[in-house]
Amino acid sequence: MNYEKIGSAHGIVIAVSKSDKHTFSKGNCSNIKLLKGLGVEGDAHLGKTVKHRSRVANNPNQPNLRQVHLIHSELLDELKDSFNVTAGQMGENITTQGIDLLELPRDTVLYIGETAVIKVTGLRNPCIQIDQFKPGLMKAVLDRDKQGNLIRKAGIMSIVLEGGEVHPGDLIRTTTTFTL
């Protein structure tokens, strides 16, 4: 039997970003529009099938599980002593604050603003472009836990379940579906 748990995780949108080209960084906007099943309107990664160039080269018919990329601003704060990185520069569409994105399990649903709903599909797996942007940044966004397991800190990926506009200042609420 499936159950839905309304999570206690709440956060806020700090910045929203998009780029109509396949650039590493995305420009900040006053708002972005999420389109159901597609992603961010006007963003190069919009679509039902994969848009990341390496994945397109492998199989262009794969579903796009990376429609919206989120990074927590706390990571930017953590990096500020060694790297000058601001919202949108690591390719995220939504920069958040106050919600531990990395602890959200796959399939967690996030309600953003008045109508937008997204579902977590997994952690972002940073690629070599991150070091091309800022040398040494790849090492800074990867870590190891006490057991030696890799920790990816570069945010999460998601798909759009319900469209809507997202603005800086919008609230974020979570739910998690689980089976007993």
Q: What pLDDT is recorded for position 8?
A: 53
Q: Give CA 127 to chain center in angstroms.
A: 15
Counting beta carbons within 10 angstroms of the beta carbon of residue 67, is it exposed (0 to 12), middle (13 to 18) or buried (19 or more)?
A: buried
Q: What angle (nearest 5°) sits at the alpha carbon of residue 54, between those of residues 90 and 70?
A: 30
Instruction: Please determine, for residue 60, whether its predicted confidence score (pLDDT) is greater than 60.
Output: yes
- pTM, two decimal places: 0.90
Q: Going by C-beta distance under 8 Å and a sequence separation of 6 or more, which residues neighbour residue 176?
A: 4, 5, 7, 104, 105, 107, 108, 109
Instruction: Please determine, for residue 2, whether its predicted confidence score (pLDDT) is greater than 50.
Output: no
Q: What pLDDT is recorded for position 117?
A: 97
Using DSSP, state whether 66 is helix, strand or coil: coil
